[in-house]
Amino acid sequence: MERRAAQPPDAVALRAVRPTDLPALDALALAAKASQGYAPAQLGVWAADLRTAPDSLDHHPAWLLEQAGTVLGFCQLDPQGSPWRLVSLFVAPGWQRQGLGSRLLRHAAQRASAAGERFLAVDADPRADGFYRARGGWRIGAIAAPIPAEPARVRPQLLLPVDEADGCRAVGAGRTDAPSGEAIAPATATLAAAQTVTAPDGSMVHPLLRASRGSLARFALAPGQVSRAVAHRRVEELWYVLEGEGWMWRRQGESASVVALAPGTALSIPVGTAFQFRAAAHAPLVAIGLTMPPWPGDDEALAVEGCWPTTA
């Protein structure tokens, strides 16, 4: 389909979705999915899931972009958990790559930020992964979603930090990195407000801050738990133990060693180093970790053979 010419910002209006809009939204969602190259048979399988249920508007607010009565895109949020979840975001074929998707995402992030949320959770189509990553999304996992044409297909699971300071300037709040020449604003985070995610090694992680050269997080392992052994492809880490006791195994080439962990212990995990850690039985093991460069996503961690049988 021929792409439309870019429109002035005031030519496209944003408003809340009404029940009478739903047939147009359902048709748009199906057309947008088709524009990603999926076969008609597969679209038929997904057709029911792509519909916006009328009763969902009572609890899952939705907004659309329209011009002269024609719906160009829409999004829907689920605010009933934390973090809030982006239920859907679609832009009509012919209107894609003109900033409409970014405008909808900014609006969703502003709503979440105004309610005190720091992240939006996204269960993304693999063809949309780049869109969300380019706007600050952190990939924290994946769900197997095979289809006949793609047996290894997965749906990326992402967290998008929302900008509390200026209404999602880059849909990357808490992000302190910025394009060259753009001022970098100071950021503040608290553990109480941090979301909980599971790291590839099985530990529980609270992402705290993210800057242009590194990211900061709190790691925790339950009493007696043993992490999965991994090696990082591109990042190095610095750890500082806050609470509990345990052990860290690290291997570089043929050289391997185990060090004891206790409050006040600091250690490094260079790029490519295989490592595994375990908590003593009497208390959780808690550490602060600095990742350089910022953590890029779960595909950064490569599973390796470890020192102990894992329980994570």
Domain at 256, CATH number = 2.60.120.10
Q: Over its length of 312 residues, how does the chain's per-residue pLDDT go in tens digits?
A: 444 545 554 489 999 999 999 999 999 999 999 999 999 999 999 999 999 999 999 999 999 999 999 999 999 999 988 789 999 999 999 999 999 999 999 999 999 989 988 788 899 999 999 999 888 887 777 788 999 999 999 998 888 888 633 333 444 433 334 433 444 568 888 888 888 889 999 999 999 998 878 899 999 999 999 999 999 888 899 999 999 999 999 998 788 999 999 999 999 999 888 999 999 999 999 999 999 988 887 778 888 899 999 987
> Which residues span the domain enclosing 96?
9-161
Residue 234 and residue 121 share a domain: no
Rounded Cα–Cα distance for residues 174 and 52 (Å)? 31
Residue 149 and residue 33 share a domain: yes
For position 242, what pLDDT does the model report?
95
For position 294, what pLDDT does the model report?
87
Domain count of the fold of the chain: 2
Domain at 84, CATH number = 3.40.630.30
For position 29, what pLDDT does the model report?
97
Residue 135 and residue 21 share a domain: yes
Residue 71 and residue 215 share a domain: no
Residue 210 lies in a domain: yes
For position 163, what pLDDT does the model report?
63
Domain-terminating residue out of 109, 142, 161: 161
Percent helix, strand, coil in the chain (nearest 5)? 20, 35, 45
Give the 3-state DSSP-derived string for 56-99, with helices as H, strands as E and coil as C: HHHCCCEEEEEECCEEEEEEEEECCCCCEEEEEEEECCCCCCCC
Residue 94 and residue 227 share a domain: no
For position 181, what pLDDT does the model report?
40
Nearest to 162 by CA among 85, 63, 57: 85
Residue 69 lies in a domain: yes
pTM over 0.85: no
Residue 44 and residue 145 share a domain: yes
Rounded Cα–Cα distance for residues 44 and 31 (Å)? 12
Residue 46 and residue 153 share a domain: yes
Residue 28 lies in a domain: yes
Residue 180 lies in a domain: no
Residue 102 and residue 14 share a domain: yes
